Structure 1
Amino acid sequence: MASTTERTAPAPASAHGTLAHLLPADYKRTIASWLHEDCPSFDYGGFVVGEDVKTATLYAKSPGILAGAPFVDEVFRQLTCTIRWNYPEGAPLTPTATQPKLVVATVVGPARCLLLGERLALNLLSRASGIATACHNLLTLLRSYGYTGILAGTRKTTPGFRLVEKYAMLVGGVDQHRFDLSSMVMLKDNHVWSTGSIENAVKAARSVVGFSGKIEVEVGSEEEACEAVSAGADVVMLDNCGGAVVRAAAERLKRRWREEGKGHVLLECSGGLGESNVAEYACNDIDIISTSSIHQSTKHVDFSLKIDH
């Protein structure tokens, strides 16, 4: 059987292409390794059902934002199955009392291949869609408070699963922040303590990252924030400060930096932010609000795959 993937609608796209075009070529090898992890030797269930070509229906059974389609595409492509999507990547899925299960896609292929990919595909889709949903919900909430800045995730991702989680953040409409330690320099308290001062840490970082890399410094006070800017930081993060404290500090810092000709410096706040308290931080003197609540321990979206009979 030909290994093809069909879509009835495109994934979220810019003028340049879909988000799937961001994915590195080696993600396909990662999918292959996950398939091997789930079936490292004999496929006993596959032996039972055999090679007869079947059609399976992918259902969404809880509301959320659809995310992770390229990974599911690749799972079934490697298993010589064809998938046809009824919803585009990033679409809201809204089961109702009268329609408790939405038909999201259909998959056609040998019965044993459908079942070989079933759990991996569902795990990927459920996790990615859960993250995209949490991102979308928090961003929508912030916009309702009049916040026009950036909502970003963090590097608190699951080892081995970062690509999926960072991709899902993009589908959910938020900034992924730095992807890894090589993406941007972030100097936290341990870096500063180890080098003796913010100035020493920034100077050392700049000596190797050069002009093309941004440097962010985590601080706990306005005094440290100004020290970081004087040392050459591009981004300053106020970490684990209360909302009222952050808003007042942000207004003073941004005014001071503009007066000093350093209005280009970005101000970020982070630490324990989520839907229950983000309103306290919805201040447009803060350029970036970052949180792990939109991708760490988020609720999964419920999907199932059933062979038609």
Structure 2
Amino acid sequence: MYDKIVENIVDLIRKDEGFIDFASYPLKGKKTSACIILKNEEAIISGVEIVQKVLEKFNIESEFKAKDGERIFKGEIATLSGDAYNLLICERTILNVLSFMSSIATKANAIVERAKKIKPDIKIAATRKTIPFTGELQKIAIMHAGGDTHRLNLSDCAMIKDNHIALYGSIANAVQQVRKNLSFSKKIEVEAETEEMAFEAAKAGADIVMLDNFSPSQASSLAKKLKESYPHILIELSGGVNPEKIEEYICEHIDIISIGKLTTEIKYIDFSMEIVK
């Protein structure tokens, strides 16, 4: 699990090392121990399993006090031991991974928890607004936060968006043409910008209707109408969702709320590494 991600991070460390880390080279072969410290008051940690597997590649033993998805508090959260040179060349990259993933997990978890207090079965999902080359880390962090990853790639679900509709000519034709090649195990989702589009998508046989850029009141009203006529359909609300006001978007008939800001706007979680002997 995570083998390719780990391999890519190891490559990053080797590129960062360059020919040799001159500042650390005289310490090569010296056994030492270190600890990782959370400098924020608290956080939802993410990236533990990945970081541990990366450290194993450098023969560094690690022990974390928490698992991915758990809440941690300011202070020591892990101990490391191994060759001093390897510890030092890994330091910044592993801290960056923990900081990046924990920042996303911490933000997403806060939103998920607020939403589930109102509707326990609501799904708070990420979007495809991820940073190139780091999207997998972001999606994993969302999962650790208790959120929904949404599509991990284009083949996960056939999502018919505005440009598809323009090229196919209509929602009905788009669904019909896409269905011809789609496996029974996959769903079709249609992005709808108006009530008419939403009902056309439902009538055409879409499994999921995404209400795009609707206000909370508009979305709630339309979702109710859709569920009355098509109770089997999943309804996703997306586009312009303000996570600070997540409560306003939650209603009985909306199943999923996807938020781009889960992965595009995050507050940095700070970790440091200190040699202890």
Q: TM-score, normalised by structure 1?
A: 0.85
Q: 1:268 to 1:169 in 2, by over 3 A?
A: same
Query: Cα 1:24–1:124, aligned 2, differ >3 Å: closer, same or farther?
Result: closer
User: What is the aligned counterpart of 2:63 among 81, 84, 94?
Assistant: 84
The sequence identity of aligned pairs, in percent, is 34
Displacement of 1:40 in angstroms is 2.8
Q: Contact conserved, 2:208 with 2:236, CA < 8 A, in 1?
A: yes
Equivalent position of 1:40 in the other structure: 18
Asked if structure 2 preserves the Cα contact closer than 8 Å seen for 1:148 and 1:284, the reply is: no
Equivalent in the alignment of 2:139: 166
Q: Deviations over 1:147-189 (max 9, x none)?
A: 6321111111111112211111111001101101111111110
How do 1:127-276 residues align onto structure 2 when only pairs under 5 Å count?
A: 127-146=100-119, 148-257=121-230, 263-276=231-244
CA–CA distance in structure 2, aligned partners of residues 280 and 91 of structure 1: 27
Shift of 1:241: 1.0
2:167 alignment partner AA? S
Aligned equivalent of 2:27: 49
**Cα 1:272–1:37 shift into 2, 3 Å:** farther
Q: Distance in 2 between matches of 1:245 and 1:25?
A: 44
Q: How many residues align?
A: 276
Partners of 1:189 and 1:268 in 2: CA distance? 16
The 2-side partners of 1:268 and 1:119 are apart by 39
Partner of 2:54: 75
Question: How far apart are residue 74 of structure 1 and its match?
Answer: 1.9
Structure-2 separation of matches of 1:201 and 1:36: 47
1:273-304 Cα shifts (integer Å, max 9, x gaps): 23322222111200111112222221121110
The one of 225, 249, 265 aligned to 1:297:
265
- Distance between the aligned counterparts of 2:22 and 2:153, measured in 1? 39
Q: 1:64 to 1:232 in 2, by over 3 A?
A: same
Kept in 2: contact 1:151–1:288 (CA 8 A): yes
Moved over 4 A (4+): none
| TM-score normalised over the length of structure 2 | 0.95
Structure 2 runs not aligned, ≥5 long: none
Q: Aligned partner of 1:68: which letter? A: G
Match of 2:73 in 1: 94
Is structure 2 residue 9 aligned with structure 1 residue 25?
no
CA distance in 1, matches of 2:147, 2:270: 22
State the distance in 1 between where 2:16 and 2:10 align.
10
**Structure 1 letter corresponding to 2:269:** V
Cα shift at 1:48: 4.0
- Indicate if the aligned counterparts of 1:31 and 1:74 stay in contact, CA closer than 8 A: no
Whole-Å separation in 2 of the counterparts to 1:300 and 1:198: 41
Distance 2:252 2:262 in 1: 20
Native 8 Å contact 1:154 1:177 kept in 2: yes
2:35/2:274 contact within 8 Å kept? yes
The C-alpha deviation readout for 1:65-112, integer Å capped at 9, x for no partner, is 0110112112211111100112222221223xxxxxx11000001111
Q: Distance in 1 between matches of 2:202 and 2:134?
A: 34
Displacement of 1:191:
0.6
